A and B are shown apart, each in its own frame.
Chain A
Amino acid sequence: MTINEKQDEIISEFEFLEDWLDKYQQIIDKSQSGEKMPEEEKIPENLIEGCQSKVWVTAQYKDGLVYYHGESNTDIAGGIVVMLVEILSGHTPEEILDSELYFIDRIGLKEHLSPTRSNGMLAMIKQMRLYAMALKAKENEK
């Protein structure tokens, strides 16, 4: 699936959830059922620190594709990072860097994109793109 196909799939999951709490329930469930990161990877180097929540993200490069792992100590930031990982994992650095993450707005999470928002979704996206850029640069050196 392309990045946009995956975004569309998430949008369709949220489409019929009109109540805010139902949307949050969906996010919480994503966090709680998401793949857990090994404890040894929850280190300061992998930390994206928001004011109130902690998010750890790692990236691996395999056969030209980037694979992310992410987890948070809160379920709301955790659900968001799980969705980002789901959408961006398994793509080339170019695809990741060129992607436009429109699902955030469409599922009604735009408020989480504010730079002052304490779970720092913008910071997560920025870090994931930086990983892609760094992995691409490393690949070019070879």
Chain B
Amino acid sequence: MGLDVNSIRKDFPILEKKIYGKQLVYLDNAATTQKPSCVVEKICEGYYSCNANIHRGVHFLSQHATEAHEAARENVRAFINAPSNKEIIFTRGTTEAINLVASSFGDSQCEEGDEIIVSQMEHHSNIVPWQLLRSRKGIVLKVIPFDENGELQLEKLDSLITNRTKLISVTHVSNTLATINPVKEIIKKAHEHNIPVLVDGAQSIPHLKVDVQDLDADFFVFSGHKVYGPTGIGVLYGKEKWLELIPPYQGGGEMIQKVTFEKTTFNELPFKFEAGTPDYIGSTALSTALDYVTALGMDNIAQHESELLEYAREQMAKIEGMRFIGNVSHRGGLVSFLVGDIHPYDMGSILDKLGIAVRTGHHCAEPVMQAFGIEGTVRASFALYNTKEEIDILVAGIERARKMFHH
């Protein structure tokens, strides 16, 4: 059963918006998705009728808010099929989740000369935390390269793994090339050497059904705002054995069991990693977003987005001077491109004036740009509410821009 996109679009009032007098065509979903009314209403309801600081409050509202926050945790657990609630840590987003692991796992498990492996197609948020760890601990950062199509050269992984490798941290889906990486295979290979793997799920969570047990991921991280939830809330899933082993990330309230000036004992999982007042409004709204996509069916969403992608590539390929960056067959719902020698910033500015929102630039993945010898790309990324008509508008917009730049 496919998606009834016309009725889905009614759930997203922002899609009705006019930009410079033109109908908005929102194709910047890989940066953030729009929010359905139910998510926005959940945020309002949270503040209007069940706002109280959670945990340890004896009063009704506090208990009510605590139950909602913990129910959200359970919902996240079910969504990614994690074994236990203890393994679901709420963070501010993917970036904070990776920083948490780089700090807590990195500082406690790595010595000078130990190695962390990432891939060449990582977002900066899966590069810079490891570089900071390198400055603190003197670790070595190694990189799995990709080929000219944007496919990871997995055969090189064997030679990168040594007995000093402490962790492999890779993206599930590239935010620039759209490559869906064979993370299950990478994890299997890593586990043969007893190396844990962190999977950056920022781009996969809105597009694919994720099962952390099937993947056997040691850590899986994602942001709520990329899966129709609010900004400022994200998730770190970690296997209990790792989360028990590594020390807390930040200190403060919530994460302690007992504090004296001589000694502090830490709270149990998952609270050990959630210092300070959690974003319980965000967590419950994220839970609503997950219910929303679950009701539509992740398989239907994936199917709809691949149809859009296929149609977009087919139509865009007809444009003179069109060059796709990333040409893998197994791909997520986005397309990175350049037309002739039109600078992506110029292309994006004209599309903007036509009401079309795309992203331009290096997409926080400068090493990918360096590999292709380009400064940036234009990226159109699709979501469950996009239509073929919108792709037609995009294609006509690119054509129009091409002519404006005299190409």
Tell me the A residues contacting B by CB distance below 8 Å.
20-21, 24-25, 28, 32, 51-53, 73-77, 118-119
Residues of B within 8 A of A24 (CB): 349-350, 353, 404
- Beyond the given pairs A76-B346, A77-B345, 19 more chain A to chain B contacts, judged by CB atoms under 8 angstroms and listed by A's residue number, are A20-B20, A21-B400, A21-B404, A24-B349, A24-B350, A24-B353, A24-B404, A28-B346, A28-B404, A32-B406, A52-B344, A52-B360, A73-B375, A74-B346, A75-B342, A75-B343, A75-B346, A75-B405, A119-B345
Residues of B within 8 A of A51 (CB): 361
Interface size class of chain B, counting residues whose CB lies under 8 Å from the partner chain:
10 to 19
Residues of A within 8 A of B238 (CB): none
Judge whether A21 and B345 touch: CB under 8 Å. Answer: no
Most chain-A Cβ atoms within 10 A of its Cβ — which of B20, B342, B353, B405?
Answer: B405
Asked if B229 is an interface residue, CB under 8 A from chain A, the answer is no
Judge whether B350 and A52 touch: CB under 8 Å. Answer: no
CA distance A32 to B345 in the complex (A): 16
Which one, A25, A28, A74, contacts B345 given CB within 8 A? A74
Asked if B376 is an interface residue, CB under 8 A from chain A, the answer is yes
CA distance A77 to B346 in the complex (A): 9
Which one, A25, A32, A52, contacts B376 given CB within 8 A? A52
CA distance A20 to B406 in the complex (A): 17
Which A-chain residue is minimally distant from B342 (CB atoms)? A75
Residues of A within 8 A of B344 (CB): 52
Closest 10 CB pairs of A and B: A52-B345, A74-B343, A20-B353, A74-B345, A74-B346, A52-B361, A75-B346, A53-B345, A76-B349, A76-B346
In the assembled complex, the CB of A100 is this many whole angstroms from the nearest CB of chain B, namely 26
Judge whether A73 and B343 touch: CB under 8 Å. Answer: yes
Looking at chain A's contact residues, is the secondary structure mostly helix, strand, loop, or mixed? helix
Which one, B20, B343, B353, contacts A53 given CB within 8 A? B343
Which A-chain residue is minimally distant from B20 (CB atoms)? A20
Which A-chain residue is minimally distant from B343 (CB atoms)? A74
Residues of A within 8 A of B349 (CB): 24, 76
Residues of A within 8 A of B405 (CB): 28, 32, 75
Residues of A within 8 A of B376 (CB): 52
In the assembled complex, the CB of B94 is this many whole angstroms from the nearest CB of chain A, namely 22
In the assembled complex, the CB of B183 is this many whole angstroms from the nearest CB of chain A, namely 31
CA distance A51 to B353 in the complex (A): 20
Which A-chain residue is minimally distant from B406 (CB atoms)? A32
Residues of B within 8 A of A73 (CB): 343, 375
Interface string of B223-266 (1 = CB under 8 A from A): 00000000000000000000000000000000000000000000
In the assembled complex, the CB of B367 is this many whole angstroms from the nearest CB of chain A, namely 17
Which A-chain residue is minimally distant from B341 (CB atoms)? A73
CA distance A20 to B20 in the complex (A): 8
CA distance A25 to B344 in the complex (A): 16
Residues of B within 8 A of A53 (CB): 343, 345
Most chain-A Cβ atoms within 10 A of its Cβ — which of B345, B354, B400, B404?
Answer: B345
In the assembled complex, the CB of A56 is this many whole angstroms from the nearest CB of chain B, namely 14
In the assembled complex, the CB of A26 is this many whole angstroms from the nearest CB of chain B, namely 10
In the assembled complex, the CB of A110 is this many whole angstroms from the nearest CB of chain B, namely 14
CA distance A72 to B346 in the complex (A): 11
CA distance A84 to B349 in the complex (A): 20
In the assembled complex, the CB of A17 is this many whole angstroms from the nearest CB of chain B, namely 12
Within 8 A of A (CB), among B1-60: 20
Interface string of B360-402 (1 = CB under 8 A from A): 1100000000000001100000000000000000000000100
Residues of A within 8 A of B343 (CB): 52-53, 73-75
In the assembled complex, the CB of A105 is this many whole angstroms from the nearest CB of chain B, namely 18
CA distance A21 to B21 in the complex (A): 12
CA distance A74 to B360 in the complex (A): 13
Which B-chain residue is minimally distant from A20 (CB atoms)? B353
In the assembled complex, the CB of B137 is this many whole angstroms from the nearest CB of chain A, namely 32
Residues of A within 8 A of B20 (CB): 20
CA distance A69 to B406 in the complex (A): 23
CA distance A75 to B361 in the complex (A): 15
Which one, B345, B361, B400, B406, contacts A76 given CB within 8 A? B345
Most chain-A Cβ atoms within 10 A of its Cβ — which of B349, B360, B400?
Answer: B349
